[in-house]
Amino acid sequence: MNEKILICAYCGPTDRKLTREHIIPHFIYDYYEKNNYKISGWNEFAKKTVGGQFTIKDVCERCNHVLLGKLDSHASQFLRQHGILTDVFLQKNIELVYDYDMLLRWILKLSFNAMRIDGLHSHIFSNSINYILHSDPAGMRDFEVVVQLLSPAQHSAEEVIRLQKIGIPLSPCGKTNPLIARVGKVHIAGSKGGFITRTVIIGALVFYLFIYDDSNQTQAFRNQVLKVFINELKTGVILQRDSTSMRLSAGEATWIESYGPALLRAKIHEDSKSTK
Ligand SMILES: [Zn+2]
């Protein structure tokens, strides 16, 4: 008899089997596989540079497949509906139609999972677990989400050759805006202690999750931080709780400015070493 008590990261002590939960949702990998999307090599590399494995085995079957699975299904549908699951996203304006709770719960789930791998700040999610699992508003902390749409990047002939080599899909006119998925964190210039910001990037869509970890921060201060952040970002829009749609326009920022340069350099360096 196995007397070891299993602890599910979401529902606590359980006699159910613990299963592997994907950090990057499974439907993204399904897309890569079905569409013969070569970027999976790039994604594997991107994961290595942020550290850690990309599944975490501390979620029980029921939470993983029944409760959290619903959030993934919803997100998959939401992303498809906006054409985000594609090789090269070329649109510069979209009308984002969303269900606030479903979207926020999904972003929280991805961030909570990634944070447990990092071993950072996961305690701040403990009050939100019932919100993530059951949409229980009593357990909801103060979160804000800023959404940004990334522009396609235009490349020179020389860049096109390099990008083709490392498997980044290009449009016929030499543009890229690939379906890279990452869950991470971002540093914000000008922010003070207590603000923790996580990012969920799915192709051209970037979600910045602001977590208000300090009850002493006034609403005015929080608003100011968001305002400064959006000014610097130039294109971000706050996801409104009491709305179901908003217009998103891409600015100058492309996937390369947003999170590519360090990775791109490292990847090209790695490839040049491996071909020697
Ligand atoms: Zn569970």
- Percentage with pLDDT > 90 across the chain: 45
Q: How far is the CA of 139 from the centre of ligand 1 (A)?
A: 17
Q: How far is the CA of 17 from the centre of ligand 1 (A)?
A: 9
Across the chain, where does the E strand assignment appear? 6-8, 12-14, 18-22, 55-60, 93-97, 143-149, 153-154, 175-176, 181-185, 195-202, 205-212, 237-238, 245-249
pLDDT in tens, 247-272: 999 998 898 876 655 566 656 555 55
Of residues 18 and 258, the one with the higher pLDDT is 18
Residue-level pLDDT at 79: 98
pLDDT in tens, 64-95: 999 999 999 999 999 999 999 999 999 999 99
CA 149, CA 206: separation in Å to the nearest integer? 6
Q: How far is the CA of 26 from the centre of ligand 1 (A)?
A: 19
Q: How far is the CA of 40 from the centre of ligand 1 (A)?
A: 30
Whether the per-residue pLDDT at 48 is higher than 80: the answer is no
Domain ranges, ordered by start, for the chain: 6-274
Residue-level pLDDT at 139: 62
Per-residue pLDDT band at 50 (split at 50, 70, 90): very low
pLDDT in tens, 130-185: 999 999 887 666 788 999 999 999 999 998 998 888 788 999 999 999 998 888 87
Of residues 237 and 219, the one with the higher pLDDT is 237
Residues 6 or more apart whose Cβ sits within 8 Å of residue 4 = none
* Token pair for 4: 């070891």
Q: How far is the CA of 11 from the centre of ligand 1 (A)?
A: 4
- Report whether 193 contacts 187 (CB < 8 A): no
Q: How far is the CA of 21 from the centre of ligand 1 (A)?
A: 11
Angle at 201 between CA 64 and CA 95, to 5 degrees: 100
Q: How far is the CA of 9 from the centre of ligand 1 (A)?
A: 7
Q: How far is the CA of 251 from the centre of ligand 1 (A)?
A: 41
| Nearest residue to 21 via CA among 111, 144, 143 | 111
Q: How far is the CA of 273 from the centre of ligand 1 (A)?
A: 44
Residue-level pLDDT at 156: 92
Residue-level pLDDT at 248: 96
Residue-level pLDDT at 265: 61
Q: How far is the CA of 16 from the centre of ligand 1 (A)?
A: 8
CA 45, CA 263: separation in Å to the nearest integer? 8
- Report whether 245 contacts 253 (CB < 8 A): no
Whether the per-residue pLDDT at 202 is higher than 80: the answer is yes
**What string of DSSP letters covers 91-152?**
-SEEEEE--HHHHHHHHHHHHHHHHHHHTSSGGGGGGGHHHHHH--GGG---EEEEEEEPBP
CA 259, CA 154: separation in Å to the nearest integer? 16
Q: How far is the CA of 61 from the centre of ligand 1 (A)?
A: 7
Whether the per-residue pLDDT at 99 is higher than 80: the answer is yes
- Percentage with pLDDT > 70 across the chain: 78
